[in-house]
Amino acid sequence: MEFLQKLHIDNDNNGVSTGLEWPAANGEKLFSYSPVDGKLIAAASGADKSNYDAVIAKAKEAFAKWRLWPAPKRGEIVRQIGEALRNKKEELGKLVSYEMGKSLQEGYGEVQEMIDICDFAVGLSRQLHGLTMHSERPAHRMYEQYHPLGVVGIISAFNFPVAVWSWNSMLAWICGNVTVWKPSEKTPLCGIACQKIVAEIFAKNNVPEGVSNLVIGGRDVGEWMSNDVNVPLVSATGSTRMGKAVGAAVGARLGKSILELGGNNAIIISKDADLDMSLVGAVFGAVGTAGQRCTSTRRLIIHKDVYNTFTDKLKNAYKQLRIGNPLDEHNHVGPLIDKDAVTMYLSAIDKCKAEGGNFIVEGGEMTGDGFESGCYVKPCIAEVKNEYSIVQHETFAPILYVMKYDGIDDAIAMQNGVPQGLSSAIMTLNLREAEAFLSHAGSDCGIANVNIGTSGAEIGGAFGGEKETGGGRESGSDAWKAYMRRQTNTINYSTQLPLAQGIKFEF
């Protein structure tokens, strides 16, 4: 396939890199099969512990030099990476679509998110501001600075195999850090392709080897990073189970972590909603990326007066969904990531039925021509109660749960009544309801939208959520602060040494 050649992906790839150097990987080999057609795309050799240790040593060496580069100069490098990504958007978007299975448009969209975060980071490289304060002592000055942390570990998930790494790495780099990336074992080739794009730009600009590092491998690599005092910050995106393990290990050594974990996102559809607009938000949110976004819409909380009308609209829209090869732009829904994901989807449907769920759009596996990979499923819709244990759980698949409400307070309580707290939305033209939803007594999520669905956040805002979603923030706003250490500086330019709080200490 031409796009693989253009991205320098071979049949057998090395999965350990410090930039231009690819030291021989001694760990297990990962085989990347496309969920699109079930074919083996290529293999990638993973790292063993000695590979990992060597990468960390190189990264630390690089940090000692990279942190001395003025931040806007680091920004200039990221600007060039953004340019390289613009040039490679087509190939990289295709690889994302082929290796992960999301629609081609969404593959391109993901690369666009990378370009956007590069632009954002370039500007930010001149704005790593701290505050200044007035000292309580005469002829004293106080201010704060932000300094880089060192080696930042990045653990990313299969569903956004390139964008989430870029949110973390572009910010980490302009802040003066070096990065060690463990991509999902389900999408190693996306990791290799990104590393190659970046390494070229770094080398051209004489950036030290070891600023961008790649360590392909399984769970072990995540454990090494989480337990490693040489990695002051671990940013992990994935399941709540993984995040709890990473958070506990990093916390035990009092390191820092940014956790972006599961969501169980709901849209409240008010009786005052624009129902046509709501339909687009709900359907894209539920079936886009085959329901495998952290921000995918899992639940619709619909006002009783519009419940029948809206569920009829949903049924009608679902009839028109085209399921199939995601590289064919006519299709709306591609495959799940692998057969294990199909098994989880089927078992969630069974559990939902056992708890009393009533499927108004039936699910099931797709078989026959074009579905040979065994990873394609039908998006489905079930009428449920919010308390069902399956509804309380995040299933990474296109299963949409619908439920009825009467008053807005109940709707907000249902929206909040799950362990996760990533994204949430209300569809309403009623100002009182919208403001109540956004208020301190409203949605408890990190993202709360009005007249927009739950998925498809822009990079400019801080991205992340509360409760079991982990509390971390990535991407825009002031998320960069998590990649730096804050230092308060007090300078005395007087001839005395007055003590704070007026304390007298004489001898």
How far apart CA 178 and CA 233 sit, in angstroms, is 11
**Minimum Å distance from CB 456 to ligand UN1?**
5
Q: What DSSP designation does 323 have?
A: B
To 5 degrees, how large is the angle CA 137–CA 141–CA 144? 125
* CB nearer ligand UN1, residue 18 or residue 184: 184
Contact 374, 360 (CB under 8 A): no
- Count the neighbouring beta carbons within 10 Å of the beta carbon of residue 113: 20
* CB nearer ligand UN1, residue 116 or residue 433: 116
- Which among 347, 320, 321 is positioned nearest to 332, based on CA atoms? 321
Q: How far, CA to CA in Å, does 33 sit from each of 23, 89, 215? A: 24, 22, 19
* CB nearer ligand UN1, residue 180 or residue 457: 457
DSSP assignments along 341-410, one per residue: HHHHHHHHHHHHHHTT-EEEE---B--STT-TTS--B--EEEE--TTSTTTTS--SSSEEEEEEESSHHH
* CB nearer ligand UN1, residue 169 or residue 295: 295
How far apart CA 346 and CA 274 sit, in angstroms, is 33
Task: Name residues whose C-beta falls within 8 Å of residue 456's C-beta, 6 or more positions apart in sequence.
Answer: 284, 285, 288, 295
Task: Name residues whose C-beta falls within 8 Å of residue 368's C-beta, 6 or more positions apart in sequence.
Answer: none
How far apart CA 382 and CA 360 sit, in angstroms, is 6
Contact 32, 188 (CB under 8 A): yes
**Minimum Å distance from CB 207 to ligand UN1?**
28
Contact 173, 62 (CB under 8 A): no
**Minimum Å distance from CB 502 to ligand UN1?**
51
Letter for the amino acid at 415? Answer: Q
State the sign of the Cα–Cα–Cα–Cα dihedral 217, 223, 229, 234.
positive
**Minimum Å distance from CB 447 to ligand UN1?**
8
**Minimum Å distance from CB 458 to ligand UN1?**
7
Answer yes or no: 435 catalytic: no
Contact 493, 139 (CB under 8 A): yes
* CB nearer ligand UN1, residue 159 or residue 226: 159
* CB nearer ligand UN1, residue 163 or residue 180: 163
**Minimum Å distance from CB 114 to ligand UN1?**
11
CB burial readout 243-281, b (16+ within 10 A) else e: bebbbebbeeeebbbbbbbbbbbbbbbbbbbebeebbeb
Contact 131, 124 (CB under 8 A): no
**Minimum Å distance from CB 457 to ligand UN1?**
3
* CB nearer ligand UN1, residue 51 or residue 257: 257
DSSP assignments along 447-489, one per residue: EEEESS-SS---TTSEE--EETT-S--EESTTGGGGGEEEEEE
* CB nearer ligand UN1, residue 110 or residue 444: 110
SS3 state at 505: coil
Task: Name residues whose C-beta falls within 8 Å of residue 340's C-beta, 6 or more positions apart in sequence.
Answer: none
* CB nearer ligand UN1, residue 106 or residue 209: 106
Active-site choice (260, 433, 468, 474): 260
SS3 state at 427: strand
Give the footprint of ligand UN1 on this chain (CB under 6 A): 113, 159-160, 164, 237, 293-295, 455-457
How far apart CA 474 and CA 170 sit, in angstroms, is 11
**Minimum Å distance from CB 164 to ligand UN1?**
6
**Minimum Å distance from CB 474 to ligand UN1?**
9
Annotated catalytic residues are 260
